[in-house]
Structure 1
Amino acid sequence: MKACTVCKYISDNDYCERCGNPTSDNWSGLLIIIDPENSELARESNIKHPGCYCLRVR
């Protein structure tokens, strides 16, 4: 699993499928967003789409 260096979306690709930026396998923390419209964590993290995200990526 790799995380996007910009939007922190987690996928298996070398480039993010959401924003097209490169991904890194050096990440930590897992945040799963199911309903971003009603999630306070999603609002604080500026996440607008459901999915798996990391908390920190290098």
Structure 2
Amino acid sequence: MSKACKNCSRLNESNVCVSCGATDFSSRWSGMVIIINPEKSIVAEKLAKKEKGEYALTVQ
């Protein structure tokens, strides 16, 4: 099961976030968005995500 980074909401399997390098994670998250092309994505722009990947919509 993926953990969500409390800093950037990126879903991770490792102990260090692949996106921001943080180590503070939560297993309590809901909703997911997958950013495929952040340069052209309106969703990525609205969520302020600049990297491809899977992100949680809410992280507790």
- Whether TM exceeds 0.5 here: the answer is yes
- Cα RMSD of the aligned pairs, angstroms, is 0.9
Identity percentage of aligned residues: 40
Q: 1:23 to 1:15 in 2, by over 3 A?
A: farther
- TM-score, normalization: structure 1? 0.91
Q: What are the ranges of 5 or more consecutive residues in structure 2 without an aligned counterpart? A: none
Q: Does 2:3 match 1:2?
A: yes
| Candidates 46, 51, 55, aligned match of 2:57 | 55
- TM-score, normalization: structure 2? 0.88
| Candidates 15, 24, 28, aligned match of 2:30 | 28
Instruction: Name segments (4+ residues, structure 1) moved above 2 Å.
Output: none
